């Protein structure tokens, strides 16, 4: 894709509609070149499109604005973790999207989790048989691709079953099964789903493994967005004296976090050489900027002063501001209720959640060491593995039965 003519034709209309913006052509160009290398012709045309936003009609002007912000982040100097992953273009679970019960929120998370992973599966299947598939550089060997498909299916399976999209399977490595799952999920995709999957894949380079890298990080963010909602509801329940409900919700959150750990073996199929080939161009985007992870951490307990002034929180100023303005944590409400008899069920749920966080962080650290080395910087040239090694010592909770040095590590 060498010309931005589709965007220019759209701009030439007397009254362009946001609903008819040529997303297909733009995404194709970005995947052909990589965001870091997309020709100036494209970024100039997209900047002109953004200038027209106030005059546009149609129902999707706000979404187009969010897309253009992601597409132009490197030009604008706003490139970061959120824009790299296109998180504003995905309907992450949470009350700001749509209120609902715990079951409804989980179903929304499961739906997004499944469509992200089945998109990855479909991409890997296409790449195995069609050389025209995007991101052609450094395709994995067949055995690596097969392992990746197997782990992707395993990571998707619990959510697929909860959504009743798949029943008993005997061999999750069979291509026929993979294709059947992709076809089944495709039938439940809405037009909004299809657009979100398309526009949230703007890799910086054309290395094959970056597709998997982006989808796995998006899946992790989907889970942590729901965990943030879960912990908020747990705090509300404890404050209302509904301790059994709080314990149940926290135990469910721990179970989901353990389940999400199945994404680590999938991410571990990344080829180190491929990762180093594209990570050069991700400077400025690091998982240390994960807003939802910091919300989860700070809802467990209020970070200490040193942590609050560390790069981890300075990189998420809106989360840091909420904390400094008195955001209440689970630790806070337990401290306020400490005159009451401790509840063994809530205590067990807290231990379970802290253990899940600890295991998740330890796996993250081990994988980072394997790919980066013990003293290498992380994605976006952050401190990387030394930072993860140190941050594992952070406690999950201060109050309750999990207090103490072994209460759980953070990153």
Asked if residue 201 and residue 277 are part of one domain, the reply reads yes
Asked if residue 267 and residue 376 are part of one domain, the reply reads yes
Asked if residue 120 and residue 72 are part of one domain, the reply reads no
Asked if residue 32 and residue 157 are part of one domain, the reply reads no
Other Cβ atoms closer than 10 A to 246 = 27
Q: What is the pLDDT of residue 270?
A: 96
Q: Annotate 142-164 with b (16+ C-beta within 10 A) or e (fewer).
A: eeebbbbbbbbbbbbbbbbebbe
Q: What is the pLDDT of residue 169?
A: 63
- Tell whether 407 is covered by a domain: no
Residue found by looking up tokens 């998420």 in the block: 316
How many alpha carbons fall within 13 Å on the CB side of residue 63?
19
3-state DSSP call for residue 382?
coil
Q: What is the pLDDT of residue 373?
A: 64
- Tell whether 93 is covered by a domain: no
Asked if residue 148 and residue 73 are part of one domain, the reply reads no
- Tell whether 90 is covered by a domain: no
Q: Which two tokens stand for residue 166?
A: 């798949």
Q: What is the pLDDT of residue 354?
A: 92
Asked if residue 163 and residue 130 are part of one domain, the reply reads yes
pLDDT-derived band at 390, boundaries 50, 70, 90: low
Angle 384-286-151 from CA coordinates, rounded to 5°: 85
Asked if residue 295 and residue 207 are part of one domain, the reply reads yes
Of 78, 94, 115, the residue that ends a domain is: 78
Residue found by looking up tokens 């965001």 in the block: 35
Other Cβ atoms closer than 10 A to 66 = 17
Q: What is the pLDDT of residue 172?
A: 52
Tell me the pTM: 0.92
What H or E segment, with its residue span, contains residue 62? Answer: helix 61-71
Instruction: Supply the CATH number for residue 220's domain.
Output: 1.20.58.480
Asked if residue 382 and residue 246 are part of one domain, the reply reads yes
Asked if residue 276 and residue 138 are part of one domain, the reply reads yes
State how many domains the chain has: 2
Range of the domain at 381: 102-402
Asked if residue 236 and residue 356 are part of one domain, the reply reads yes
Over residues 174-185, mean pLDDT? 92
Q: What is the pLDDT of residue 191?
A: 96
Flag whether pLDDT at 353 surpasses 50. yes
Over residues 270-289, mean pLDDT? 92
Asked if residue 384 and residue 308 are part of one domain, the reply reads yes
pLDDT tens figures, 310-330? 888 999 999 999 999 999 999
pLDDT tens figures, 86-134? 999 999 987 666 678 899 999 999 999 999 999 999 999 999 999 899 9
- For 301, list phi and psi in degrees, rounded to 5: -155, 150
Over residues 153-170, mean pLDDT? 89
- Tell whether 48 is covered by a domain: yes
DSSP string, 68-130: HHHHTHHHHT---HHHHHTGGGS--SSTTT----HHHHHHHHHHHHHHHHHHHHHHHHHHHH-
More confident call, 6 vs 335 = 6
pLDDT tens figures, 48-81? 999 999 988 878 899 999 999 999 999 999 999 9
Q: Which of left, alpha, beta for 201 (phi over 0: left; psi -120 to 50: alpha)?
A: beta
Over residues 195-203, mean pLDDT? 98
Over residues 217-222, mean pLDDT? 97
- Tell whether 301 is covered by a domain: yes
Asked if residue 51 and residue 154 are part of one domain, the reply reads no
- Tell whether 411 is covered by a domain: no
- Tell whether 97 is covered by a domain: no
Flag whether pLDDT at 389 surpasses 50. no
């Amino acid at each position: 894709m060498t010309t931005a003519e589709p965007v220019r034709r759209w701009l030439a209309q007397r009254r362009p509609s946001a609903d008819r913006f040529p997303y297909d052509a733009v995404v194709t160009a970005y995947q052909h070149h990589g965001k870091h290398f997309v020709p100036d012709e494209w970024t100039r045309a997209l900047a002109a499109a953004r200038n027209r936003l106030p005059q546009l009609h149609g129902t999707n002007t706000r979404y187009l604005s969010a897309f253009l912000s992601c597409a132009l982040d490197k030009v604008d100097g706003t490139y970061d973790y959120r824009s790299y992953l296109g998180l504003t273009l995905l309907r992450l679970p949470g009350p700001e999207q749509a209120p609902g019960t715990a079951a409804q929120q989980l179903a929304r998370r499961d739906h997004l989790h499944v469509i992200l992973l089945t998109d990855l599966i479909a991409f890997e299947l296409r790449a195995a048989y069609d050389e025209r598939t995007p991101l052609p550089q450094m395709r994995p060997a067949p055995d690596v691709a097969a392992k990746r498909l197997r782990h992707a299916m395993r990571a998707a399976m619990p959510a697929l079953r909860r959504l009743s999209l798949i029943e008993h399977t005997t061999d999750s490595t069979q291509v026929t099964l993979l294709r059947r799952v992709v076809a089944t999920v495709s039938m439940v995709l809405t037009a909004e789903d299809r657009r979100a999957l398309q526009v949230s894949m703007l890799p910086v380079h054309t290395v094959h493994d970056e597709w998997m890298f982006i989808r796995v990080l998006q899946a992790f963010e989907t889970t942590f967005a729901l965990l943030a909602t879960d912990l908020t509801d747990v705090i509300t329940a404890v404050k209302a004296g509904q301790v059994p409900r709080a314990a149940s919700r926290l135990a469910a959150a721990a179970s989901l976090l353990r389940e999400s750990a199945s994404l680590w073996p999938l991410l571990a199929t990344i080829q180190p050489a491929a990762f180093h080939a594209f990570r050069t161009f991700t400077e400025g985007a690091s998982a240390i900027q994960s807003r939802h992870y910091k919300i989860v951490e700070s809802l467990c307990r209020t970070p200490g002063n040193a942590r609050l002034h560390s790069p981890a929180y300075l990189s998420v100023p809106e989360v840091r501001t909420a904390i400094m303005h008195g955001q209440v944590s689970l630790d806070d409400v337990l401290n306020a209720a400490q005159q009451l008899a401790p509840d063994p069920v809530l205590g067990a749920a807290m231990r379970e959640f802290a253990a899940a966080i600890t295991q998740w962080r330890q796996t993250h650290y081990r994988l980072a060491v394997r790919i980066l080395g013990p003293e290498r910087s992380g994605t976006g040239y952050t401190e990387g593995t030394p930072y993860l090694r140190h941050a594992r010592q952070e406690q999950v909770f201060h109050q309750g039965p999990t207090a103490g040095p072994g209460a759980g590590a953070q990153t």
